[in-house]
Structure 1
Amino acid sequence: MECKISLEQLAESQHGQVKYASAFVDEHIEDIYIADGHLHIKHNSPNGNEAIIERVGRLVERFSKGDFGFKENILFEHKVDTPYEGDIIAELVERKAIKILEPGLFIFREPFSSLMRFFDYSFVTKIAKRFEGMQEEHYPAVIHAETLNKTNHFTSFPEHIHFLTHLREDLDVIESFSQSIREAGGWNKDHTLELDRNMPKPSFTMNPSTCYHCYEGLQDETLEGEGIVVTAIAKCHRFESKNHSDFGRLLDFSMREIIFVGKPDFVKENRLKSIEYLKELAVEWNVDSMMEIANDPFFTNDFQVKASFQRNQEMKYELRLTIPHVKKSIACSSVNFHSNTFGNAFNIKMGKRNAVTGCVGFGIERWAFAFLAQYGLDEQQWPKAFREQYHAWQEKAL
């Protein structure tokens, strides 16, 4: 079945966010696309077209409330006539440099895996180490649900969460499960798991964002001086439904962050520095890019309030790199200011007041995909500065 929903009451700049959110309205959706001012949805839902149209209509209503507009606010632009316009993912698959297990879940091989390590090395040496007193930390890939609750992730981005659980510590349950798999001839996705009976309610989820562990680690502490700068890289996980078929939108990805925790001026000044460092790097590597004011794709009913507040207060900037083949851009880095949201949630003190926080994020796979989407795999076509730095790093890495 296919249904279509008019988007005429929305600004064109909102169409992409509605398309993104609509992937979550029904688990039987097979494809979503925008054409002629309408959202087209192909599905095999037993609920029929009417239920799909009603649910998407609720999203359209949510996005259309108020004078929001999603006007572009470009802070920086570096236009480059890059040499490559091919389908880089198809080329990487053909060369067996990546293996797609399913949409959004990849195995990365050489040379892509080396490029990922080089990008991370560069973000640490070229940006993170420019902040005085920077400390490096290492975080787990899972996070306690109670910690995630303090970040308001459950109420802002519930659709992204990967919950973790396990078989109950019960010999009968464990043996029965094992025997049922054996009798079925092995695991398959249709195998019935009685979660309430066989598995406890989850206490952990996969970590959706690197910086959350930083705040968890500082809970109930009082910081000295003006504040601290921490950098870490972590595997992050976000379920994004059919959106995983979009370029660069992964189920499992590597996120390097530089995190600022401290007094307001300390965090704001370092955030401004990080913006300048990002702009310098985009020019140095000669990537076709732009930086703009942005908002997170909040999913809940108070979307307009949260997104509008983010934009009006300029709490989120994104550095977007162009993908010539699809004639779009993707966010590869973000610069965020959280005010005292996390300082309050985790009782992180600066003297008698709660700390404020901010962070800079680098999507490692996205940077590598976007760079290759502009310059291809022929290193002779790469910008001279990037090529020289990459080769110098390779010599050190061997």
Structure 2
Amino acid sequence: MNTMTDAAAIAAAQTDASSFRDGLFSHGILIDTGENGLYGRSQVFESVVDGLNAAITHLGADQHPEFLRFPPAMRRTDFEDSEYLKSFPNLAGTIHSFCGNEGDHVRLLRCLDDAMKESDDDRNDEWMKYQKPTRLTLTPAACYPIYPVIARRGPAPAGGHTIDVLSYCFRHEPSIDPGRMQMFRQREYVRIGSPEQVMTFRQMWIERGSLLIDLLRLPVEVDLANDPFFGRGGKIVADSQRAQALKFELLIPVALEDSKTACLSFNYHMDHFGAIWKLACEDGSVAHTGCVGFGMERITLALFRHHGFDVHAWPDDVRGLLWGDTKARIEHGLAGAAT
């Protein structure tokens, strides 16, 4: 390994990411909050997200999914049961609140006054020792809240379940790369059923996800992938995930021209969640699950990267897909892909 070369490459990548982010700020597309990975969204940015959501809805309409929406928090017990902390403890976000008495409140305010005498970056967090864990955690992936909800309904019908879910999610990985946000939205279609149903679902969405990116006139590459499992044991789990071809990602250059970002993921969980929450098929067997996840901010950023900061100058067919006759364009694309 050439340490100097690696360091230069990292510095160049950070410069490119920072330059793209600065462009988004200067054009008023994202709003700087002073915290890496936490941004406000402008009307222009949200109009693109709205257009993408409409396209994704039409893309999955023939699957007749159940529509579910949850806030970006979930029960702590469900989060604990999910085993997320076994694999991604470094990404998790918990929710704490003040639960003390009046004396504790006085001490908290004293600590807060001391902290506020310091600059933002140097402030201590002594006041937080008076915060206690609540019964909630931040949602790490849009699909997580649905599994215990569906499990409580009992065995799935013969056709299984197909669910459309959208949520803000949290992952603690601050970065100057605008494509790596700490708070972001995932739109997912989730399949719960037999292994055959889930595998068929995943293959269909690899094709449909690729179609959507083609219609948006973005460069597309689908590749085998693995999740960023934590620690030394994580490599073994990641290697197993790749060996079993459980995860594919749709990659697009976003912040960096010569590096690709996962903007969609296609996942087969096997019976992992089914066993945890006792999800059952009609015949009583443990249900398998799978999902396709659309990174709404990442796809939107890819559009700004490849088509420019002025949405009025984007290609007519892209504008038509997002803000025109979206349904007809998606149906035409699906019909063409089927022939």
Give yes or no for the alignment of 1:365 onto 2:297.
yes
Give yes or no for the alignment of 1:346 onto 2:315.
no
272-281 vs 141-150, which moves further: 141-150
Q: Using the alignment, how far apart are the partners of 1:40 and 1:192 within structure 2? A: 38
SS at match of 2:144: helix
Aligned in 2, Cα 1:130/1:147: closer, same or farther, shift over 3 Å? same
Give yes or no for the alignment of 1:160 onto 2:91.
yes
- 1:333 — aligned with what? 264
Following superposition of structure 1 onto structure 2, how do residues 49-128 of structure 1 map, counting pairs within 5 Å?
87-101=19-33, 102-126=35-59, 128=60
Matched length: 315
Give yes or no for the alignment of 1:288 onto 2:212.
no
Q: Quick check: 1:248–1:330 contact (8 Å CA) kept in 2?
A: yes
Q: Quick check: 1:88–1:376 contact (8 Å CA) kept in 2?
A: no
Aligned in 2, Cα 1:35/1:123: closer, same or farther, shift over 3 Å? farther
- 1:317 — aligned with what? 248
Q: Quick check: 1:168–1:174 contact (8 Å CA) kept in 2?
A: no
- 1:261 — aligned with what? 192
Give yes or no for the alignment of 1:245 onto 2:176.
yes
Query: Per-residue deviation at 1:380?
Result: 5.7
Q: Quick check: 1:255–1:364 contact (8 Å CA) kept in 2?
A: yes
SS at match of 2:165: strand
Q: Using the alignment, how far apart are the partners of 1:170 and 1:393 within structure 2? A: 58
One-letter amino acid of the structure 1 residue matched with residue 43 of structure 2 = E
Aligned in 2, Cα 1:186/1:282: closer, same or farther, shift over 3 Å? same
Can you list the C-alpha shifts for 1:107-149, whole angstroms capped at 9, x where unaligned?
01131121112112211222x2131x31110112112232122
One-letter amino acid of the structure 1 residue matched with residue 291 of structure 2 = C
One-letter amino acid of the structure 2 residue matched with residue 96 of structure 1 = G
Give yes or no for the alignment of 1:382 onto 2:314.
yes
SS at match of 1:164: strand
Aligned in 2, Cα 1:272/1:203: closer, same or farther, shift over 3 Å? same
Unaligned runs of 5+ in 1: 1-5, 8-33, 43-85
Q: Using the alignment, how far apart are the partners of 2:325 and 2:93 within structure 1? A: 35
One-letter amino acid of the structure 2 residue matched with residue 368 of structure 1 = T
- 1:278 — aligned with what? 209
The alignment-based identity, stated in percent, is: 22
Q: Using the alignment, how far apart are the partners of 1:300 and 1:183 within structure 2? A: 36
Aligned in 2, Cα 1:345/1:324: closer, same or farther, shift over 3 Å? closer
One-letter amino acid of the structure 2 residue matched with residue 153 of structure 1 = Y
Query: Per-residue deviation at 1:387?
Result: 1.4
Q: Using the alignment, how far apart are the partners of 1:87 and 1:332 within structure 2? A: 20
- Structure showing the higher helix proportion among its residues: 2
One-letter amino acid of the structure 1 residue matched with residue 176 of structure 2 = S
SS at match of 2:140: coil
- 1:36 — aligned with what? 5
Query: Per-residue deviation at 1:40?
Result: 9.9
One-letter amino acid of the structure 2 residue matched with residue 105 of structure 1 = L
Give yes or no for the alignment of 1:190 onto 2:124.
yes
- Aligned partner (choices 233, 242, 248) of residue 302 of structure 1: 233
Aligned in 2, Cα 1:383/1:176: closer, same or farther, shift over 3 Å? same
Give yes or no for the alignment of 1:223 onto 2:156.
yes
Can you list the C-alpha shifts for 1:65-88, whole angstroms capped at 9, x where unaligned?
xxxxxxxxxxxxxxxxxxxxx954
Q: Using the alignment, how far apart are the partners of 2:61 and 2:4 within structure 1? A: 46
Q: Using the alignment, how far apart are the partners of 2:90 and 2:295 within structure 1? A: 20
One-letter amino acid of the structure 1 residue matched with residue 45 of structure 2 = F
- 2:333 — aligned with what? none
Q: Using the alignment, how far apart are the partners of 2:22 and 2:6 within structure 1? A: 29
Q: Quick check: 2:206–2:266 contact (8 Å CA) kept in 1?
A: yes
Taking structure 2 as the reference length, the TM-score comes to 0.84
- 2:136 — aligned with what? 204
CA-based RMSD: 2.8
111-120 vs 373-382, which moves further: 373-382
Can you list the C-alpha shifts for 1:337-359, whole angstroms capped at 9, x where unaligned?
00000000001111221110000
Give yes or no for the alignment of 1:236 onto 2:205.
no
